[in-house]
Amino acid sequence: MLDQMRATTVVAQKQSFADRVTRTSASTRRPSAPSITARLKKHVTDGSKRRSRSIHRGGDMATIIEIRDAKKRYQLGKDNHVDALRGVSLSIRRGEMAAIMGPSGSGKSTVMHMLGCLDTPDSGTMVLNGRRVDNLRDRELTKIRSQEIGFIFQGFNLIPTLSALDNVALAAEYAGASHGDAVESAKGLLELVGLADRAGHMPSELSGGQQQRVAIARALVNSPAIVLGDEPTGDLDTATSEEIMDVMREINMKTGTTFVLVTHNPEVAEACDRTIRMRDGLVEDDGLSTEVGFDFGTRRRASAHALAYA
Ligand SMILES: Nc1ncnc2c1ncn2[C@@H]1O[C@H](COP(=O)(O)OP(=O)(O)OP(=O)(O)O)[C@@H](O)[C@H]1O
Ligand SMILES: [Mg+2]
């Protein structure tokens, strides 16, 4: 897997690092690899352009998403309600891989719905890429979702009647890509997640881990600023779960894509940079107090460097 990714991905914020990985991977590169590399580079470059435009609108370089004092109440009848979020404040930094943990019912999925612009809080503010999003209409939220956010679900959520390739390509077409571009991107990303030889398979002809890889490729196809996973390894056995975490970690390190993963699995959280703990609709611990001067850029380069020479 590492060989495959080394051979097909060269994306880094620093060109010097990109050059190092390119040189290291040259010996294992297949003939089609350069164009895939170029495609992935384009993915990330396009995404960064979009992101930097947002930054110029006044956002904070380091923070990709910020929720302040978000409250969400579900009304279940006249006298019955659930306060799912009771004042959640949370910042996710660009390029980080964060886990959200907490007991069942503590509000993790509700927070993910906010982060993913699937829902807005009743009160409080939310800023994505420097733009207020808590007060946007559904149509604008839908557009932001398709352009800025990738989703990975516990049950994979692939369309059963479409091949792996078409599942990924459809997400790009849905966001406005031409059919040809969508298919080209989908092929490159399936190769990135190690499934080039399964592109024509239907979801029912793939293992759970392979289906989740397709879902990861689909989540990445529109160069999202952030990828959200609600229990992305919840339906997988331990070994496959580790494999999927490895795939996401490598993508995080090599492309700088931000990941936020809800999980009940301590090993998944362990593989992330930071663990946010929720309880009773509040953030109990944002996981930052244990970090001292943590620099994602340095860590990403250092770790990717290690990968390149492993
Ligand atoms: N659509 C809804 N209508 C009413 N109540 C809801 C709705 N969605 C969630 N809730 C309630 O809000 C609270 C938070 O739910 P949420 O799904 O965010 O929990 P969670 O931390 O993701 O739990 P789990 O680990 O079981 O997935 C729960 O008490 C839940 O019952
Ligand atoms: Mg949940």
**Residue bearing the CA closest to ligand 1, atom 24:** 104
Residue 110 Cα to ligand 1 midpoint, Å, equals 6
**Residue bearing the CA closest to ligand 1, atom 19:** 105
Residue 281 Cα to ligand 2 midpoint, Å, equals 12
Ligand nearest to the CA of 278: 1
Number of folded domains in the chain?
Answer: 1
Ligand nearest to the CA of 265: 1
- pLDDT at residue 32 is higher than 90: no
Percent of the chain with pLDDT over 70: 74
Structure confidence at residue 310 (pLDDT): 31
Residue 104 Cα to ligand 1 midpoint, Å, equals 8
- pLDDT at residue 11 is higher than 70: no
**Residue bearing the CA closest to ligand 1, atom 27:** 104
Ligand nearest to the CA of 104: 1
Tens digits of per-residue pLDDT, 206-231?
A: 999 999 999 999 999 999 989 999 99
Distance (Å) of CA 227 to CA 16, 19, 26, 249, 255? 26, 26, 29, 12, 12
**Which residues have CB under 6 Å of ligand 1?**
74, 76, 82, 84, 102, 104-110
From the CA of 111, give the closest atom in ligand 1: 18
- pLDDT at residue 39 is higher than 50: no
Q: Where are the alpha helices (H) located in 177-277, listed in sequence order?
A: 179-192, 208-220, 238-255, 266-270
From the CA of 264, give the closest atom in ligand 1: 25
CA distance 310 to 303: 10
Ligand nearest to the CA of 106: 1
Ion ligand 2 — residues with CB < 5 Å: 109
At how many degrees (to 10) do helices 238-255 and 33-56 cross?
70
Residue 24 Cα to ligand 1 midpoint, Å, equals 47
Structure confidence at residue 255 (pLDDT): 86
**Residue bearing the CA closest to ligand 1, atom 17:** 109
CA distance 213 to 234: 14
Tens digits of per-residue pLDDT, 256-269?
A: 899 999 999 999 99
Residue 149 Cα to ligand 1 midpoint, Å, equals 22
Tens digits of per-residue pLDDT, 157-166?
A: 999 999 999 9
CA distance 209 to 190: 13
How large is the average pLDDT for residues 30-45? 38
Residue 142 Cα to ligand 2 midpoint, Å, equals 21
**Residue bearing the CA closest to ligand 1, atom 5:** 74
- pLDDT at residue 64 is higher than 70: yes
Specify the CATH number for the domain of residue 134: 3.40.50.300
At how many degrees (to 10) do helices 208-220 and 164-174 cross?
20
- Residue 232, amino acid: P
The range of the structural domain enclosing residue 298 comes to 2-309
- pLDDT at residue 305 is higher than 70: no
Residue 18 Cα to ligand 2 midpoint, Å, equals 37
